[in-house]
Structure 1
Amino acid sequence: MRHLRRKLAFYLVALWAAVTVNFLLPRLMPGDPVDALLSRMQQTGGAVSPEARQALEVMLGSGGQENLAAQYLTYLGNLLRGDFGVSATYFPTPVSTVLTQSLPWTLVLVGLSTVVSFVLGVTLGALVGWRRGRWSDALVPATTFLAAVPYFWLALVLVFVFGATLGLFPLTGGYDYGLEVGFSGPFLASALHHGLLPAITIVLSSVGTWLLGMRNMTVSTMAEDYVLTAQAKGLRPRRVLVTYAARNAVIPSLASFAISLGFVVSGSIVTEAVFSYPGIGFTLLQAVQNNDYPLMQAVFLVITLAVLGANLLVDLLHAVIDPRTRQTGGR
């Protein structure tokens, strides 16, 4: 219990620090979301009175005449009530509605892509490590090259080849315009068609990391006494690989996988921007471009909570797997 209380206290302090930095960073950026919104309104011929400007300042959380400390207290109070304010980018839509609309797209796309790349990478890595020195070792440099290629370049190449040239996939968007969002057959088929190419981009870019790490751990594990003993007993190679070698070699990858799941909610900003995919990464990019303080803060907060939660889960799992991590290190 002492270990658990210590960990929870540490993560609560980390959460407070992250919330404070989350409040300060957007306000240190140049520009004002109210000015950006008023500029768009004036382009459409709308006139804005000083009273309307003051109301927009309060609504968008830019502070108006309040000092930074007063803005911080107001921000914390709204945060405790679950009020993230109104988005300047999607005005007058509340930030909570924008998150509700964009977060599921990212969770499905990036979440499934992360799981697929992890399963594919550790499976291929275990097989390559088990059969090291054979032709399968050629997968290591090939996948490592794909992992080293920048996301945006690989995404642009796939868009050009499979979208613009061959016409197999749509170039932008998350579904065909005109379809109603829901669990209908046409919408789900359209969403799958639009999300397949971004998913392939994410898998190709990340599978090499899992493969290389699992391959090296499998090679190292095969030299352990328990694996050599299993082989000396005459057990089938498949059983030795799955039960003894891969089962122990995958433990470091599982810790990294748990942490990577925490970053799923942040989306793949570059990939979503290239494909104009309506996920949280694309939403964050739009918020930054429009100095949308409330939306940026809400997105950062969701990312912070997910990452801290994933790290806390990994720490607790380490404490269960290795009891030595629960020791204080002193007498």
Structure 2
Amino acid sequence: MDFSKLLKIITKLLIMIMLISILSYILARISTSVYTMLSYYEYSSPRVVEALSKYYGFGVSPLQGALIYLGDLFSGNMGISIFYDMPVSNIVFDALMKSLLIILPSTVLSTFLVFILVIYTIKYIGTRLDRVVDYLFISLMAIPEVLLAIIFFLYLPSSILSMIALLALYQATFIYVFMRRNMVHILSESLDLVEYYLSLGFKGKEIARELIRMSLPLFYTSIAYSISTVIPVLVFVETVFNYSGIGYMMFTALENSDYPLASGCFLILAIIAILSNMIADLISSRYDWRQDI
């Protein structure tokens, strides 16, 4: 990838973050409930009220307030939590580190599991056993995330390993369903190629290996999408397991009407979702010459 494409991707990322930040500011500015909440919230101290009034620019014009808000935000200042009376950046980044302790292992585990299943799909696609596995994953996908979290909480030890297993199952379900639907399409398009390989004397394993190589960009994309889709699930999983990750902090912020903390959690989660999709584009452009970012 040349420097111009990389610069284009970074520019798109910064623009998206800027738009999300401006939206967060506008929602706080046009909502009179935010300032009213600061004035009457039982946990608010005069210091918090003064700091957040300055942070959101309630005493200046909207344009000046927006510039101050963006300057503070890009310098790492996300305001002060009304409920915790602490800098939001400290709370959010500490919670993010805890969430990454379950997201990263679950992604590795689900990737390994689905890769094995993709090999199985290519070899046995269309058979009865293949249909049973497909129906099983579709059924798992239909189960509400909060119900699945409660089942794991009730029947497995309340530990970080249980949360990793739950997220891995959710991600594997999404990746497998996504990959299988597209693998059927790839196989239908590659029938002539398969016949050509057979005429050259290629064996089944060699043909399957080639088809897997062709589907790698799609596989990487599905993994990135799974990270994006698993982010909302964190709210249910961490809340049910009482794990103080960023999903739990988002729930706590909404429950206590802590807008600065909710806004900080939302911004970080949105950046993760954007980054995961950007990484998918980068990897696809590396392995798939048809991908043009």
- Same fold judged by TM-score > 0.5? yes
> CA separation in 2, counterparts of 1:63 and 1:9?
27
In structure 2, the residue matched to 1:17 is: 19
Kindly tell me: are residues 302 and 202 of structure 1, through their superposed partners in 2, closer, same or farther at Cα, counting changes over 3 Å? same
Amino acid at match of 2:48: L
What CA distance in whole angstroms lies between the structure 1 residues aligned with 2:27 and 2:258? Answer: 12
Cα distance between partner residues in 2 of 1:288 and 1:266? 14
One-letter amino acid of the structure 1 residue matched with residue 278 of structure 2: L
Evaluate the alpha carbon distance shift between residue 280 and residue 78 of structure 1 in structure 2; reply closer, same or farther with a 3 A threshold.
Answer: same
Q: 1:302 to 1:210 in 2, by over 3 A?
A: same
Question: What secondary structure sits across from 1:325 in the alignment?
Answer: coil
Q: Does 2:50 align with 1:58?
A: yes
Partner of 2:38: 34
Q: 2:265 aligns with which of 299, 309, 313?
A: 299
State the number of aligned residues.
283
Query: Partner residue of 1:114?
Result: 107
Q: Which moved more, 1:216-225 or 1:140-149?
A: 216-225
Relative to its length, the structure with more helix (as a share) is 2
How many Å separate the matches in 1 of 2:195 and 2:255? 58
Shift of 1:304: 3.1
Larger radius of gyration: 1
Letter of the structure 1 residue corresponding to residue 139 of structure 2: F
Would the alpha carbon gap of residues 310 and 215 (structure 1) be closer, same or farther in structure 2, given more than 3 Å must change? closer
- Partner amino acid for 1:287? A
Question: Which residue of the partner structure matches residue 190 of structure 1?
Answer: none
Secondary structure at the counterpart of residue 198 of structure 1? helix
Aligned to 2:292, what secondary structure does the other structure show? helix
1:211-234 Cα offsets, whole Å, 9 max, x none, are 223233334444523333333444
**Alignment pair present for 1:277 and 2:243:** yes
- 1:279 Cα offset (Å): 0.7
8 Å CA contact retained: 1:57, 1:63:
no
Q: CA deviation at 1:314?
A: 3.2
Kept after mapping to 2: 8 A contact 1:34/1:62: no
Name structure 2 gaps, 5 residues minimum: none
Structure 1 gaps, min length 5: 42-51, 164-168, 171-193, 327-331
CA separation in 2, counterparts of 1:114 and 1:97? 26
Does structure 2 retain, via aligned residues, the 8 Å contact 1:140–1:212? yes
Write the distance in 2 (CA, Å) between the matches of 1:281 and 1:155.
Answer: 13
Q: TM-score, normalised by structure 2?
A: 0.81
Residue type matched to 2:23 in 1?
Answer: V
TM-score normalised by the chain length of structure 1:
0.73
- Aligned equivalents of 2:145, 2:232: Cα separation in 1: 15
Q: Which residue of 2 aligns with 1:184?
A: none
Higher relative contact order (CA 8 A, sep 6+): 1
C-alpha RMSD over aligned residues: 2.9
* Structure 1 residues 3-28: Cα deviation after superposition (integer angstroms, max 9, x where no partner): 55554444433232121012223453
Residues 55-134 of structure 1 aligned to structure 2 (within 5 Å): 55-60=47-52, 61=55, 63=57, 65-91=59-85, 93-132=86-125, 133-134=127-128
Detail structure 1 runs of 4+ shifted over 6 Å in the superposition: 263-267
Q: What does residue 177 of structure 1 align with?
A: none
CA distance in 2, matches of 1:2, 1:100: 31
Q: Percent identity?
A: 22
Q: Distance in 2 between matches of 1:159 and 1:317?
A: 36
